[in-house]
Amino acid sequence: MLMVVFAISTASAQTKLNVCVVGLNHDHIANILNAYTKGQVNIIGIAESNKALWAKFGKRAKLPEDIFFEDTKTMLAKVKKPDAVLGYNEVSKHVDIVRICAPLGLPVMVEKPLAATLDQAKEMEALAKKYNTKIWVNFETTWYASNQSAYNTFAADSIGKIKKMVFHDGHQGPKEIGCSPEFLAWLTDPIGNGAGALNDFGCYGADLITWFMKGAKPTAVTAVTRHYKTDVYPKVDDDATIMVEYPGSVGLIEGSWNWPFSIKDMEVFGETGYIHALNGNDVYMRLRENKVSTKKAAPLPAPINDPMVYLAAQLKGEIKGDDQSSLNYNMIVMQILDAAKRSAASGKRIVL
């Protein structure tokens, strides 16, 4: 059973990476652009075929014109070798990044989930092994202090063995909250995203439960999807409920584009206590003896407090073992999502 060990240094927190970006059509691109404008990272190349997005984001982040390229191969042939390549494109094209970067020995971090399909994920894993390169997946919930607090409480055996976990992730819908047209074009497409809400938000719970279960593979997955907004999202599901079974415990993942508000919370039911990470910072805990507490989670320490600080530490070999971002754990995530799709389509419980 792998445990994550953090060798924290001041240097890791201060390292400014030189990165290349593939894609500008993912609305999470704002995160890396904000890091750039704050001087936390150097963007030395951007590969994007849509030149309208060059102008949009070049102006917004005051990016130099000479760092933009129409494709990944051209970019990597022209720029100085980056420390890592970051994927902000269609989930279905994450595999294309790895196909190009792995033979060049370039580490890759993509936005969640790892891939649109399990077959794509398996190809990415095979390429990483063949060329001895690294792949990480960036989840917003990885940087939630509340989730780390809940994990630490569980790891300290304060609530006993986990019996059930429940995850709520989603919002009113990507169109309803104003996602960009470029993002919507592939997010609501069964090929570009691999599914609808099932992939978009089901991946969060799948990732967190894999982390809490220390990479254990589930025994079975059962899922039900719904398609409420057929006029808004005609091609994909907009609501998914996934039951993930383990020996002695079960997880319930609820991902939806139909919540009345944005939500990312997590409930952990142990033998002797209960933890509710209400959002990124607030934690509610109740023990069997009716001892109740509510607190603000302690800020995350470097290098697990920020994706670029984390990535710098990974590149230096300062983080050992698997965690929410690791390829090993995310291969389990992809197996859960794949089984959920098959279960929803067949109406059957899928044994893994």
Does 236 share its domain with 339?
Answer: yes
Report the C-alpha gap between 244 and 247 in whole angstroms. 10
Q: What is the 3-state secondary structure (H, E, C) of 296-341?
A: ECCCCCCCCCCHHHHHHHHHCCCEECCCCCEHHHHHHHHHHHHHHH
CATH at 231: 3.30.360.10
Angle between helices 118-130 and 327-346 (to 10 degrees): 160
Query: Whose CA is closest to 104, among 137, 126, 82?
Result: 82
Instruction: Specify burial of residue 224 (Cβ count, 10 A radius: 0-12, 13-18, 19+).
Output: middle
Domain boundary among 115, 139, 163: 139
pLDDT at 11: 37
Note whether residue 50 is domain-resident.
yes
pLDDT at 290: 84
List, in sequence order, the alpha helices (H) in the chain.
10-14, 29-37, 51-61, 72-78, 94-101, 118-130, 145-155, 181-187, 197-212, 307-315, 327-346
Sheet of strand 18-22: strand arrangement: 68-69, 42-47, 18-22, 84-87, 108-111, 135-138
The count of domains in the chain is 2
Does 327 share its domain with 188?
Answer: yes
Does 130 share its domain with 166?
Answer: no
Does 128 share its domain with 217?
Answer: no
Does 107 share its domain with 177?
Answer: no
Domain extent for 63: 5-139
Report the C-alpha gap between 334 and 328 in whole angstroms. 10
Note whether residue 315 is domain-resident.
no
Does 167 share its domain with 291?
Answer: yes
What are the C-alpha distances in Å from 298 to residues 48, 213, 280, 281? 39, 23, 11, 8
Does 95 share its domain with 11?
Answer: yes
pLDDT at 227: 97
Task: Give tens-digit pLDDT for 274-302.
Answer: 999 999 999 999 998 889 999 999 999 99
Q: What's this model's pTM, rounded to 2 decimal places?
A: 0.95
pLDDT at 155: 95
Does 298 share its domain with 334?
Answer: yes
Does 115 share its domain with 185?
Answer: no
Domain boundary among 85, 108, 139: 139
Report the C-alpha gap between 9 and 302 in whole angstroms. 8
pLDDT at 99: 98
**What tokens were used for 94?**
């994450």
Does 122 share its domain with 160?
Answer: no
Per-residue pLDDT of the chain in tens (352 residues, 90 and over written 9): 333 433 333 333 456 999 999 999 999 999 999 999 999 999 999 999 999 999 999 999 999 999 999 999 999 999 999 999 999 999 999 999 999 999 999 999 999 999 999 999 999 999 999 999 999 999 999 999 999 999 999 999 999 999 999 999 999 999 999 999 999 999 999 999 999 999 999 999 999 999 999 999 999 999 999 999 999 999 999 999 999 999 999 999 999 999 999 999 999 999 999 999 999 999 999 998 889 999 999 999 999 999 999 999 999 999 999 999 999 999 999 999 999 999 999 999 999 9
pLDDT at 319: 96
pLDDT at 288: 86
Domain boundary among 102, 121, 139: 139
pLDDT at 15: 63
Exposure of 13 in the CB half-sphere (CA atoms within 13 A):
11
Note whether residue 308 is domain-resident.
no
Note whether residue 309 is domain-resident.
no
